[in-house]
Amino acid sequence: MNLLKNIKAKLLRALAKRMKAKFTYDAAQYPLRSVSQTFIPTAWGPARALFYWPHTSSVGQLPVYLNLHGGGFVAGVPEHDDSYCRRLAHNLGCLVVNLDYVLAPEYPFPAGLRQSFEVLEWLAGQATALGIDPQRIAVGGHSAGGNLATGLANLARGHEQLRVVHQVIDYAAVDLSQAPELKRSPLDKPLLGTGLMRFFNSCYLSDPVHALDPLASPLLARVEALQGMPAATLITAEYDILRAEGEAYGEKLRQAGVEVNERMFPGCDHMFTHLGPDASADEAWQFIEDALRGAFRGAAVQEADHARVGNL
């Protein structure tokens, strides 16, 4: 059974690597100083990450956005998000780190999440050398990556060396405990179907009881346990089977006192930011960009205020 699962996962990855996003930006629109590949040491081996460096005249430290690709914790590559990372780096003047985290079933929960957290800590430890501000980090992801992003935001609370100031949760799976057949769509054949969701869960959760862990299923967290989470940008799609749990998670965050910037995109299905409709995809990326810009500016003002108070 495990051999069959591994074979299916590898076939799915091969297919995913050949897939191209239908909605992309022309790289020439968003020129950058450089795009480089870095291998970051972690307990799960070197984590490959693409670094998008903006042209900037600023002498200060750059804010950072850590991007986590989708693919059900099983497939997907950071290159799928390349053009969007270029846009965000250019328009926001931030370093975008596009991470190739370990995948299931070889590395089930919580490996991808814990490795991503080690990458965050590595970035903070290298802040001076990289010229980045470890107190202005945002995390975000799409589908499974959105699940990992909100898990990172949870783990980073109260960290002494870094601060996550914003989380982007884009049509994410946030309740792995609910049976996939109970997740409904108005469409007869939504992009993310019951069978595929069941396969993803079986790969990611080596023990079904892990589905009850709030780091795997953030929706199951107690309201009190979500207090102090960073502000969130939360995106759902009308036809996506993950819409209901995404909206429920947004409501739970609000109950915990977390600021939630939420949009449901009508006429759209899962992965619409990459597959279209084009107008909706572009609108969603602008929504994300505006939220991150506000978060980075707000954090910079807070840092300046703290420095001013400290000098009095």
Mean pLDDT per 10-residue section of the chain, whose length is 312 residues? 83 86 94 98 98 88 98 96 98 98 97 98 98 98 98 97 98 98 96 95 96 98 98 98 98 98 98 97 98 95 70 60
Q: Long-range contacts of range 196-201, CB-CB < 8 Å, 24 or more positions apart?
A: 196/72, 197/72, 197/173, 197/241, 199/8, 199/72, 199/74, 200/72, 200/73, 200/74, 200/104, 200/144, 200/173, 201/176
The total number of residues shown for the chain amounts to: 312
Q: Which domain holds residue 230?
A: 2-311
How are beta strands 164-170 and 260-265 bridged, if at all? unpaired
Task: Single out the catalytic residue among 83, 270, 274, 280.
Answer: 270
CATH code of residue 91: 3.40.50.1820
The C-alpha atoms of residue 146 and residue 163 are separated, in whole angstroms, by: 18
pTM: 0.95
Catalytic residue among 240, 269, 274, 280: 240
Q: Which of 83, 116, 143, 280 is catalytic?
A: 143
Residue 143 is a catalytic residue? yes
> Structurally, how many domains does the chain consist of?
1
